[in-house]
Structure 1
Amino acid sequence: MVVPYKHEPFTDFSKEENRKAMLEALEKVEKDFGKEYPLIIGGERITTEDKIESVNPANKKEIIGYVSKANKELAEQAMKVADSTFETWRKSDPKFRADILFRAAAIVRRRKHEFSAHLVKEGGKPWKEADADTAEAIDFMEYYGRQMLEIMDGKKVESRPIEYNQYHYIPLGVGVVISPWNFLFAIMCGTAVSAMVTGNTVLLKPASPTPVIAYKMMEVLEEAGLPDGVINYIPGPGGEVGDYLVDHPRTRFVSFTGSRDIGTRIFERAAKIQEGQKWLKRTIIEMGGKDTIIVDNNADLELAAQSIVQSAFGFSGQKCSACSRAVIHEDVYDEVANRIVELTKELSAGDPHDNTHFMGPVINQKGFDKIMGYIDIGKNEGKLLAGGKGDDSKGWFIEPTVFGEVDPHATIMQEEIFGPVVGLTKAKDFDEAIEIANNTEYGLTGAVITNNREHLEKAREDFHVGNLYFNRGCTAAIVGYQPFGGFNMSGTDSKAGGPDYLGQLMQPKTTSEMF
């Protein structure tokens, strides 16, 4: 009997023993700075001359590690290994696959602070955000293992006295998994292991800013008993390795999490039939968001302000679910806006090694320049109420920034900034607030703060997002509790951490036996 699923609890760092354990983990991780990490293809460690430098975004002089960089030739080698391994792995017992995940989850759980410390250093995550990322990785392994056990025997279909019918699932083939840098452990882990536990083989290309944590996960899976060649670790440039594998005729599916521009490009490339290809490639593509919190005039205004600030500035706004727009009823706009500014000015940004800071850095120079560019645009589109400054002298730090009185169609209200910037706008009534919330090409998350039950039900019907939250912030979905994925240009709405997710990585087969 499988123990019922329960999500991994978060760590209370106000307790001295937890704080001490985390500091020890950070010290341990720092001792590994500057190490070299090879590719892993078919279990073989392969070192290349060309390296990816993984840099601490809070202190860019610190090199987390030097990671071997794959090229087309190595990508082809990995494809051949994965293709060959699939022929045996697809016939493996689903219980065997699930047990690997349960053991891997237990290994990570025992070393939880160590993994979180990697996320602090490589991803620039504050302790709370790093701990949640690690917990989510554990959750994905536990949840997908249990989901596989639930569907391993297929679904019941009707039979007749003259025949016996069965409906079951088989794996797809070789999958290319391209993971993001923001949830550098959780999403990378969830997308890779879901493909593995369903009987597919995987070519894992982690995001170039954060490849070391993916190597650490590979070590855990190996320790848990994953056979060679099932997941192959091949970090490398998207324009070379990513495109080559997306286009490859033996690629059966592509799982991507990242920006709208790259996601739509992958979707287009995957749709093209290559010479020798005999299937339509599946795509699981999760992209960006332009997420809105609506504040009604009949609402807990302190809850509203707290929800907006926490959702906008958690992990420096580098979440596709982050609140980057707040639509506030005109009757309460001034009160809520003033409180948002007060709360924002209380926040500090600094090196997340020090747990007193709410915010750490943004990921790299490219991200810093992009966000500061949007802040410059915002100064011409709204009233700067808080923040607006950046400092990239040591790491890439940007103040939490609030713009008020912004037109709903302004650039900073339409384009994904992916940084600590939120725009505030007024609505004359709830209908207009819903209309403004829906006026972007995205449809990922949203929230409504109100005590009006009719308005909540209207939002349930008309607020067009994949994850809608009432009287709370619009971030922090939990695996198995709030399956996550969005509409429109936010992606294919795959609902990660949900009961339908694994079905996208398999194909149903009907067999019918006549008597």
Structure 2
Amino acid sequence: MTYLYKREPFTDFTLSQNKKEFQNTLEKIEKELGVHHDILIDGERITTIDKITSFNPANKYEIVGTVGKADTDLAETAIMSARKSFQVWRDWQVKDRAGILFRTAAIIRYRKHEFSAYLVKESGKSWQEADADVARGIDFMEYYGRQMIDLEEREEINRSLIKYNQYLYQPLGIAVTISSSYFPFSTMVQTTVAPLVTGNTVILKPSSSTPIIAAKFVEVLEEVGIPSGVISFLPGSGEEVGDYLVNHPKTNLIIFTGSRDVGIRIWEQAAKVHPTQAHLKRAIVEWGGRDTIIVDNDVDIDMAAEELIASAFGFSARKRFTGSRAIIHQDIYKSLLERVIDLTNKLNVGDPFFPDNYMGPVTNQRAYLHIMSYLEVGKKEGRLVAGGIGDDSQGYFVRPTIFADVQPESRIMQEELFGPVIVFCKANDFEQALSIANNTKYGVTGALITNNHDHMERARYDFHVENLYVNHNCTENVFGNYPFGSFKSSGTDSKLGEQNYLHLHMREKVVLKKL
């Protein structure tokens, strides 16, 4: 049977009761900030001298909390614990493993405002973005739990009268999850629960920018009764602990979301077979890009402008699928640009503690400096028409920025940015627009805004992105209906939100028995 799942609803903050409840939760957790969370290995909490401190990116002097900082000795201990626990966890019934996910989802659903409030504080998300991030994490737990049950019950192979053929799914072993700060809850959750429900043990190395939300998630897994050693919480340096886990001959699966340079390095490291290694590792690595929106000459200007704003500036563009390249037909270029400038200048930027602020800060100082350096590049390569300034006196704020009249080969059009910057490029016609759109090494998402059905059909096959949106912003994915992944040099094309994603965490085995 196929298990259907209704998506977790988003909170409607236009309702005064919801707004009041969330405001009260924010005020409540402000009194709880600064709590320390120890490392978790083999069901035991381990205190370390070194710590990682998480700061509020909207108020860089406010400490959200601290976590223990692991070294390679603790990483080795975590691997040995995960290896031992795998022998038991892999034999759990699928429904029991899925039950862990369902119970965790139920608790987080009940405490949804609390988790969302921590995201506001730790990652600088707006109320709506934080609520959506937590809802998406709940969706991952519910969806993958049900899909794994469905997969276990399905008949997968033909049988004859004299032979009994059986198709089995077996977990790989130890999974290393290295999560990012882009969607600090939902991305961390999905890269943790998919290997768990398929029977792997998991060592979770959270982002050093957002470790507190990961720590709180692991605490819920403990609360619902996940066995000791099945999940390890191991914050630490990517260069030290991350590399040690990726290179270790006993780890079987590496899951990473982050930057292109780190993703490629992890892919290369995972491919190396060490002398004592008896298997080939799998790696699921995803990173970002420069996603493109083509706007044809037969569209409603207001609709197109709203879709561009939503694609370019949501969550301060700190996500993998940001519509940061606008390729506009010459017939409407000037009028659409003027409309987007007008809307952009009306966007409020500030502390997301206050709900009227559309955009909060970027993640940390490193991200801020990276974006500011690209603003200087943009001023040389295009015409600055909005934004172009930042302020890090209190937090890491960058005004939503627009560069016009940018050339297709320019750096600001080609290089990964991860910031609230959109560049406008003029195209003579649809063919040229499509050519410019494909002139990039990345291929996460793309959008086409048009009323021309021939152009829609052409884009279906010749717009080289993993997820194509037509007359819609390029930032949505729906479990079971619209899976999400990447093409080209944006990752390994692993589709989140579909059953096939679970296959990447297992090996298939066929047993033939003569009757």
- TM-score category of the 2 structures, normalised to the smaller one: over 0.9
Separation in structure 1 between the aligned mates of residue 162 and residue 151 of structure 2, nearest angstrom: 26
1:469-480 aligned within 5 A: 469-480=469-480
Q: Tell me the residue number matched to 2:380.
A: 380
Separation in structure 2 between the aligned mates of residue 319 and residue 481 of structure 1, nearest angstrom: 21
Q: Tell me the residue number matched to 1:428.
A: 428
1:358-507 aligned within 5 A: 358-507=358-507
Matched, 1:200 2:200: yes
Deviation at 1:271, TM superposition (A): 0.5
1:262-281 aligned within 5 A: 262-281=262-281
1:241-261 alpha-carbon deviations (Å, 9 max, x no partner):
000000000010100000000
Matched, 1:56 2:56: yes
Separation in structure 1 between the aligned mates of residue 87 and residue 395 of structure 2, nearest angstrom: 47
Structure 2 CA distance for partners of 1:57 and 1:109, relative to 1, 3 Å: same
Deviation at 1:154, TM superposition (A): 5.1
1:86-105 aligned within 5 A: 86-105=86-105
Question: Is the CA contact (8 Å cut-off) linking 2:3 and 2:150 kept in structure 1?
Answer: no
1:436-469 alpha-carbon deviations (Å, 9 max, x no partner):
1111100000100001111111101101111111
Deviation at 1:297, TM superposition (A): 0.7
Separation in structure 1 between the aligned mates of residue 393 and residue 318 of structure 2, nearest angstrom: 20
Identity of aligned residues (%): 55
1:71-108 alpha-carbon deviations (Å, 9 max, x no partner):
10000000000000000111100000111111111111
1:380-416 alpha-carbon deviations (Å, 9 max, x no partner):
1000010001000000001000000000111010001
Separation in structure 1 between the aligned mates of residue 352 and residue 159 of structure 2, nearest angstrom: 60
Task: In structure 1, list runs of 5 or more residues that go unmatched.
Answer: none
Q: Tell me the residue number matched to 1:24.
A: 24
Q: Tell me the residue number matched to 2:15.
A: 15
Q: Tell me the residue number matched to 2:43.
A: 43
Q: Tell me the residue number matched to 2:169.
A: 169
| Aligned residue identity for 2:177 | V
1:166-212 alpha-carbon deviations (Å, 9 max, x no partner):
11211000010000011000000010011000000000001100000
Structure 2 CA distance for partners of 1:2 and 1:44, relative to 1, 3 Å: farther
Deviation at 1:219, TM superposition (A): 1.2
Q: Tell me the residue number matched to 2:286.
A: 286
Deviation at 1:492, TM superposition (A): 0.5
Deviation at 1:35, TM superposition (A): 1.2
Please state whether the residue corresponding to 2:424 is helix, strand or coil: strand
Matched, 1:296 2:312: no
Separation in structure 1 between the aligned mates of residue 491 and residue 435 of structure 2, nearest angstrom: 21
Separation in structure 1 between the aligned mates of residue 30 and residue 2 of structure 2, nearest angstrom: 38
Separation in structure 1 between the aligned mates of residue 294 and residue 158 of structure 2, nearest angstrom: 47
Separation in structure 2 between the aligned mates of residue 442 and residue 60 of structure 1, nearest angstrom: 32
Q: Tell me the residue number matched to 2:150.
A: 150
Between 292-301 and 474-483, report the one with greater CA deviation: 474-483
Please state whether the residue corresponding to 2:478 is helix, strand or coil: coil
| Aligned residue identity for 2:176 | V
Between 363-372 and 294-303, report the one with greater CA deviation: 294-303
Q: Tell me the residue number matched to 1:341.
A: 341
Question: Is the CA contact (8 Å cut-off) linking 1:286 and 1:492 kept in structure 2?
Answer: yes
1:99-248 aligned within 5 A: 99-153=99-153, 155-248=155-248
| Aligned residue identity for 1:175 | A
Give RMSD over aligned pairs. Answer: 1.0
Question: Is the CA contact (8 Å cut-off) linking 1:38 and 1:46 kept in structure 2?
Answer: yes
Separation in structure 1 between the aligned mates of residue 153 and residue 105 of structure 2, nearest angstrom: 24
Separation in structure 1 between the aligned mates of residue 455 and residue 345 of structure 2, nearest angstrom: 31
Provide the TM-score with structure 1 as the length reference. 0.99
Question: Is the CA contact (8 Å cut-off) linking 2:148 and 2:499 kept in structure 1?
Answer: no
Deviation at 1:222, TM superposition (A): 1.4
1:220-255 alpha-carbon deviations (Å, 9 max, x no partner):
111222111111000100000000000000010100
Separation in structure 1 between the aligned mates of residue 430 and residue 6 of structure 2, nearest angstrom: 37
Please state whether the residue corresponding to 1:319 is helix, strand or coil: coil
Between 71-80 and 33-42, report the one with greater CA deviation: 33-42
Equivalenced residue count is 515
Deviation at 1:2, TM superposition (A): 7.9
Provide the TM-score with structure 2 as the length reference. 0.99
Separation in structure 2 between the aligned mates of residue 9 and residue 317 of structure 1, nearest angstrom: 23
Question: Is the CA contact (8 Å cut-off) linking 1:300 and 1:451 kept in structure 2?
Answer: no
| Aligned residue identity for 1:82 | A
Question: Is the CA contact (8 Å cut-off) linking 1:154 and 1:168 kept in structure 2?
Answer: no
Question: Is the CA contact (8 Å cut-off) linking 1:153 and 1:168 kept in structure 2?
Answer: no
Matched, 1:313 2:300: no
Deviation at 1:3, TM superposition (A): 6.1
Please state whether the residue corresponding to 1:61 is helix, strand or coil: strand
